[in-house]
Amino acid sequence: MLSISTSNYKASSLKVSPFICSCKGTPQGAIDLVGQEKYEVETYSYRYDGSSTNTGLFSEKRVLDAFDDEYGGVVVNPDKLPIQTNVFASILRSSVSIWRTEGKKGIWLKLPVEKCDLVPIAVREGFQYHHAETGYVMMTYWIPNEPCMLPANASHQVGVGGFVMNDKNEVLVVQEKHCAPELFGLWKLPTGFILESEEIFTGAVREVKEETGIDTEFVEVIAFRHAHNVAFEKSDLFFICMLRPVSSEIKIDDHEVQAAKPASKHAHTCVYYVYAVAAAAV
């Protein structure tokens, strides 16, 4: 996207030196007049959207395609990033300079995995890692000379367990395939992590279904605990949900579960575990 605004001119032809043009306006002598007519050329600006490969025409005031967020910062459009590393380095530096003069605060720069060559350039320009997902890395830059007010990366992971008891007071338990050697063969509640944008009770129902094949209905949350420095120095929230079984045929997940069964003999152990979880949250 290249937007240029100019004032009226009267001559029918002109020549512009491609190496003199800049966003601050056209310097004196850059236009070769034909005849004796006068020209007026206003200053202009443009926003780089990654579609042009001509890097010699403009040398100043280049700005990455971005939009303002509601907190006085900017979010760079990841779909309009330059492909060439040298172009990206130049435009990124220019963009930060311009956003600084405009009083912007935080910059959010999402770099897709197919443009991973741009990551070290952003680091050299002062950007910091915020978080990463399968297809991208998110980087940030705090412009003001004051403490950074950008929110930190997610601090918690959330796990769920399903406490499923049938009308015979038998509790559904499983043996995991992949666990620490000292826990191999241990009967336990079906557990797992909730998915992105998934409710806690929905995650518990899903985990029980995936691991055992048993369909259930959510009744209530009966215990939870909050632990710290669990995985990659993140905190951990774990919820146990009481679930009512609505089917009885067990079909285990061969990838995660070694065995599953409703068992009365392990019920007291599971109940004790629930109490222990609840006590840990106090």
Model pLDDT for residues 133-175, shown as the tens digit of each residue:
999 999 999 999 999 999 999 999 999 999 999 999 899 999 9
Burial annotation 98-128 (CB, 10 A radius, 16+ → b, else e): bbeeeebbbbbbbbeeebeebbebbeebebe
SS3 of the chain: the string is: CCCCCCCCECCCCCEECCCCCECCECCCCCEECCCCCCECCCCCCEEECCCCCCCCCCCCCEEECEEECCCCCEEECHHHCCCCHHHHHHHHHHHHHHHHHCCCCEEEEEEEHHHHHHHHHHHHCCCEEEEEECCEEEEEEECCCCCCCCCCCCCEEEEEEEEEECCCCCEEEEEECCCCHHHCCCCECCEEECCCCCCHHHHHHHHHHHHHCCCEEEEEEEEEEEEEEEECCEEEEEEEEEEEECCCCCCCCCCCEEEEEEECCCHHHHHHHHHHHHHHCC
181: left (phi > 0), else alpha (psi -120 to 50), else beta? alpha
Pick the range with the lowest mean pLDDT from 47-51, 93-97, 123-127, 217-221. 47-51
Tokens of 261: 């069964």
Mean pLDDT of the chain: 80
Which domains are present in the chain? Answer: 1-44 (no CATH), 63-142 (3.40.630.30), 156-280 (3.90.79.10)
pTM of the model: 0.69
Does residue 14 have a pLDDT over 70?
no
- Contact between 45 and 25 (Cβ < 8 Å): no
Q: What is the pLDDT of residues 80-126, one digit of tens each?
A: 999 999 999 999 999 999 999 999 999 999 999 999 999 999 999 99
Does residue 79 have a pLDDT over 50?
yes
- Residue 235 phi/psi, 5-degree rounding, is -85, 165
pLDDT category of residue 254 using cuts at 50, 70 and 90: confident
